[in-house]
Amino acid sequence: MLDLRYLRNHPVKAEKSLQARDPKISLDKLLALDSAWRGVLQRVEELRAERNDAGAAIARAKKAGDDANSAIKRMTKLKADLQKQEEQADEFKARLDDVLLSLPNLADPAVPVSQDKDDFEELRVGGKLANFSFEPKDHVELTEPTGTLDFPGAAKLSGSGFALYRGEMALLEWGLLSWMFKEAAAAGYEPILPPFLVNHDSLYTSSQFPKFMGDVYKLADDDLYLIPTSEVTLVNLGREVTFQGEDLPKRVAAVTANFRREAGTYGKDTRGLVRTHQFNKVELVTFCQPEQASGLFEEIIAHAEKIVKSLGLYYRVVRLASCDLAQQATMTVDIEVWCPGMKRWWEVSSVSNCSDYQARRGGIRYKVSGGKSQLCHTLNGSGVATSRLLPAILETHQQSDGSVIVPKPLQAFVGRERINLPG
């Protein structure tokens, strides 16, 4: 959530930054509600002071044995007026909060300003593009003969948009998650195995609610929701917590399944693993002081980049255009891998600097010795997601006989150097 005082004091600058994300955004309604709310609050304070004076007048009259009826009548009217103004203040504040919650984070000045998602900034390309003496298959074609990625089986169990991993694919998926989780721990992230179900307050703090309620699975009989990303659980470890300044940065990592309804994406990019309702990933979250955020943002990017590089994949690092930023992000850098069978790039890691947007919602603070508590900055990134990473591995390392070479970091987890699939 944005700082209302900043919007009030710098409306032109703030609106320009918000319109970089969406030209339709206007602060006129918010500023009008803010002005009306503050005006009513001022009247509330005046009425409270008058009420106190009236109460004192009644007490003096009774003590002196004088007639207090006029003062009592005045008190009755003041109480009614005060109640009316307090209700008006609450109404204006609720409407003001609704508008404030709808606003995304301010875009960082370094973000490319565009209303076209394809206008991202390519920062660098890494790895080596695979060359084939044959026409490479996509991951579905590679695994269909053995059913090791069993989409019909998953559909029988759960419906469309799910995957069932069998045999070598189950080992490869589990090996990926185990290795990446171990790498995160080695890099200084505290390993966390969190619940997959969270409450409304958790999704509010991480900024999925209220704007994206339709994208999250809700349990019918409980006020609980399946996590769309473990960013939700990790960020909420800091909810209503005040860290000591010397304990920051605080790095945490989780490995979880993630669940998304993917509302509005029917028929779009649905082949295989690339867009499913349930997928796995390792997530990284960092709590820090504001001045630490820039360097830690690059640290998370470097960690995710190291993962894809170690797997022998061809990849690129891109800074997203302003229109493509998530609600809570002031800047996002994606790592995309090339899938030669599908002949396209797929994002496997999205790293976001959320400044104090989530911290303001969740009361995530820190305090330095002798100072006042201040809002933390939060950063998050995939380290990384497997639903596009696994296809990239299969398609990049496929051989002419249909087998797939297992990348060296995963061989100990998978228990073999090659997955034998029929050609």
Spatial neighbors of 116 by CB under 8 A, at least 6 apart, are 321, 323
Contact 164, 272 (CB under 8 A): no
Count helices and strands in the chain by DSSP H and E runs: 13, 15
Rg of the Cα atoms in the chain: 27
The values of phi and psi at residue 333, to 5°, are -120, 125
- For 109-172, give the DSSP string: TTS---S-TT--EEEEEES-----SS-PPPHHHHHTTTTSB-HHHHHHHH-SS---B-HHHHHH
Instruction: For residue 279, give the nearest of 389, 183, 381, 394 by alpha carbon.
Output: 389
**Alpha-carbon span 118 to 106, nearest angstrom:** 20
Q: Which amino acid is at 298?
A: E
**Which residue in the list 260, 316, 361, 365 is annotated as catalytic?**
260
91 flagged as catalytic: no
CA angle 194, 287, 358 (to 5 degrees): 80
Instruction: For residue 387, give the nearest of 276, 251, 254, 225 by alpha carbon.
Output: 276
Its sign, for the CA torsion 37, 42, 43, 45, is: positive
**Alpha-carbon span 231 to 228, nearest angstrom:** 8
**Alpha-carbon span 366 to 372, nearest angstrom:** 9
**Which residue in the list 275, 319, 360, 418 is annotated as catalytic?**
275
**Alpha-carbon span 281 to 177, nearest angstrom:** 7
361 flagged as catalytic: no
**Which residue in the list 91, 121, 262, 347 is annotated as catalytic?**
347
**Which residue in the list 202, 206, 207, 350 is annotated as catalytic?**
350
- Is residue 35 classed as helix, strand or coil in its secondary structure? helix
275 flagged as catalytic: yes
- Is residue 102 classed as helix, strand or coil in its secondary structure? helix
**Which residue in the list 206, 230, 388, 395 is annotated as catalytic?**
388
347 flagged as catalytic: yes
Q: Which amino acid is at 109?
A: P
239 flagged as catalytic: no
**Alpha-carbon span 406 to 313, nearest angstrom:** 12
DSSP-assigned beta bridge partners for residue 252: 190, 285
Its sign, for the CA torsion 317, 257, 328, 253, is: negative
Which residues have a catalytic role annotated?
A: 260, 275, 347, 350, 388
